[in-house]
Structure 1
Amino acid sequence: MIRVLLVDDQLLMREGLRKLLQIEPGIEVCGSAKDGVDALDLLARLAPGDRPHVALVDVQMPRMNGVELVTRLRAQHPDIAPLMLTTFDDDDFVFGGLRAGAQGYLLKDIAPEELVDAIERAARGETVLGGPAAERLVAALRGDMPAPEEPPVLSEREYEVARLVGAGASTREIARTLHITTGTAKNHISSCLRKLDLRDRAQLAVWAVRHT
């Protein structure tokens, strides 16, 4: 029996996936969460024998996005295969998710039978890529995609802060880890956002996964 955790900020999507998967033989939905923070809290409460084999993870979620969650899952729960399932066909998210350790990247317009097959393959440790994600990865490997621009230079401390943001650390955790005040940590995060022309911590986390 393959146990699956659903992580999506849309209740309708979570319930739809639950109903879709619960009729499939050999698959059991062992829980659902509205974001990364909720997912980690749930995993901490589950007994080892009840934990999922596969986590279906959305990309854009409040508090902790999908890339951050995948990073944390690989660090804290390496036995769980994170499978990203999203509407976002975006290079930053595709490559950010894969670099974070996602077992695969799928779009939500995937056929139900293909989703079930992807879950089964991910549970076996196989890498699963939907059509657009696979095309992007092949293009990058072949060199068909333009070389990325050199990122703006961050200070050594800013790189440390960015790496911690990419790992899902809170501002308070960053301050404690680097032995600085919370205000100083906030200033470093703001400086990173300004230098990299990013909108928020979620984008900084994606950047960090790709560049640090």
Structure 2
Amino acid sequence: MIKIVIADDHQVVRKGLVFFFQTQDDIEVVYEAANGKEIIHYLEDHPADVVLMDIQMPLMDGIEATTQLRKQFPAIKIVMLTSFSDYDTVIPAIQAGANGYQMKDIEPDQLADVIRRVHKDETMIDAKAATQLMTHVTGDHQREEEKRLQDLTRREKDVLKEIMKGCSNKEIADHLFITEKTVKTHLSNIFSKLEVHDRTQAALFGVKYMK
């Protein structure tokens, strides 16, 4: 059973999510919170696997809460569920340590799948949120990042495309007919060349610049 905590300052949203997750056999909502502080206080004494986090909340917003949670509970998975897909919201959320970024117009069944995949160490970024980044990246910074992408080998680009789809190492290995050990080697090279720290940032980079 995947134990999840929901943080959203709108009670209607929380109740709607709770009602839906009651239909899922493998997901249990163990706590609801109206802000980030409530989440942190709860998790200090109770276990949970995934936090479904709104960004705009009173007292402590989702990005600040994610930063704190990542320090105190590094193993917990955090999925941002928001209405905002702009550059200035997505980037801070990813930098804070979010494992996923989804829009509130997502279909409920898709959201449940996102939670399952994030729980399995995959990263899930909504395509619309990532695509919006392209309109905010300009000038020298963009050219520098595009050059990093050109430094990837053809096979590394193939692996990056699979990461952008949210595929696990095993799935990448199966799709590209290579071993998981080789996948890990390619991932290490991709992270180094793109100057990113994890799969989420690599996927975000790919969505911005891959043609």
TM-score bracket relative to the smaller structure? 0.5 to 0.7
The answer to whether the aligner puts 1:33 opposite 2:29 as a matched pair is no
Aligned to 1:23: 23
Note the residue ranges of structure 1 that are not aligned, 5 or more in a row.
150-212
Tell me if structure 1 keeps the 8 A contact 2:7–2:33: yes
User: C-alpha displacement at 1:148, in angstroms?
Assistant: 8.8
Q: CA deviation at 1:147?
A: 4.4
Question: Partners of 1:102 and 1:122 in 2: how far apart?
Answer: 10
What residue in structure 2 maps to residue 146 of structure 1? 138
For residue 115 of structure 1, report the CA deviation from its aligned partner: 0.2
Output the CA distance in 1 between the equivalents of 2:9 and 2:125. 22
| TM-score (normalizing by structure 2) | 0.63
Is 1:96–2:128 an aligned residue pair? no
- Per-residue CA deviations over 1:24-53 (Å, capped at 9, x if unaligned) read 11111111111001111111232xxxx111
Query: TM-score if structure 1 supplies the norm length?
Result: 0.63
Q: Deviations over 1:166-189 (max 9, x none)?
A: xxxxxxxxxxxxxxxxxxxxxxxx
Q: 1:19 to 1:135 in 2, by over 3 A?
A: same
- Per the alignment, residue 174 of structure 1 pairs with none
Structure 1 equivalent of residue 8 of structure 2: 8
Aligned-partner Cα distance in 2 for 1:93–1:134:
11
Aligned partners of 1:88, 1:38: CA distance in 2, in Å? Answer: 22
Q: In the alignment, residue 21 of structure 2 is paired with which amino acid?
A: L
- Which residue of structure 1 aligns with residue 168 of structure 2? none
Report the equivalent of 1:115: 111
Q: 3-state SS of the aligned residue for 2:80?
A: strand
After TM superposition, the structure 1 = structure 2 runs for residues 36-185 of structure 1, keeping only pairs within 5 Å, are: 36-46=36-46, 51-136=47-132, 139=134, 145-147=137-139
Provide the C-alpha distance between the structure 2 equivalents of 1:22 and 1:5, rounded to a whole number of angstroms: 13
CA distance in 2, matches of 1:109, 1:31: 22
Instruction: Give the SS at the match of 1:45.
Output: coil
Shift in alpha-carbon separation, 1:129–1:45, aligned structure 2, 3 A: same
Q: Structure 1 CA distance, aligned partners of 2:39 and 2:139?
A: 35
What CA deviation, in whole Å up to 9, does each residue of 1:65-95 have, x standing for no partner? Answer: 0110110111001111010001112211101
Shift of 1:134: 2.9
Distance 1:44 1:61 in 2: 20
Mind listing any 5+ residue stretches in structure 2 that lack a counterpart? Answer: 142-211
1:68/1:127 Cα in 2 relative to 1: closer, same or farther (>3 Å)? Answer: same
Give the whole-Å Cα distance in 2 for the aligned partners of 1:131 and 1:24: 25
Give 3-state SS (helix, strand or coil) of 1:13's partner: helix
1:92 counterpart letter in structure 2: D
